[in-house]
Structures are given as C-alpha cells and as structure tokens.
Amino acid sequence: MQASIHTFDESDGFGSALLDDGREVTFTGRVFAASTLRHVRPGQRVSIVLGPDATTVTRLWIVGIGPEQPIR
C-alpha cells in the first residue's frame, strides 16, 4: 500500500503518513530505523504495511531503495 508522509520528527524518527483515502496512520522510530532510510519529507510517497489495528505502520520503505527493490 502507498501513502504520503504527513509529519516526521527527525530527532526520534516518529511520524505519520496519510493514506490515499485521507486516514492518518503513525509510525514509530523503531519502524523508521528498520527502513534504513535517513530522512523523509512531508509529501514524499512511501510504501507501507499496516498492523492488525490498521492505524499503525509496521513496515516503511521507498520502492527502489533497499534489498530486492529494483526501480522499474
């Protein structure tokens, strides 16, 4: 699923993203650190996986960055 970064706190890696239907979901610093990204900016498109509660992100990445993520 894709979303757009809404907020991002560089100091702790916590942030939120907006789904295409307008819902806001959050991600923790731990999820951001696991993404191996160094920074994201508001409006940036990312791919995400939501947890069972459908309000928190369990995985975050940008297609084309990271192992097995070829740019097409």
d(CA 3, CA 15): 12
Sign of CA dihedral 43, 48, 50, 56: negative
**What's the confidence (pLDDT) of residue 66?**
63
Average pLDDT over residues 51-57: 96
For the chain, the average pLDDT equals 91
**What's the confidence (pLDDT) of residue 33?**
95
Q: Say if strands 2-8 and 15-19 run parallel, antiparallel, or are unpaired.
A: antiparallel
Average pLDDT over residues 42-70: 87
Residue entry with tokens 């498109």: 45
Of all residues in the chain, the percent with pLDDT exceeding 90 is 83
The CATH number of domain 2-61, selected from 1.10.1660.10, 2.40.50.140, 3.40.190.10, 2.130.10.10: 2.40.50.140
Which tokens hold the place of 40?
A: 């994201």
Instruction: Determine how many CB atoms are found less than 10 A away from the CB of residue 54.
Output: 9
Query: Using one digit for the tens of pLDDT, what is the confidence trace for 3-36?
Result: 999 999 999 999 999 999 999 999 999 999 999 8
Domain boundaries, given as residue ranges, for the chain: 2-61
Judge contact between 44 and 53, C-beta under 8 A: no
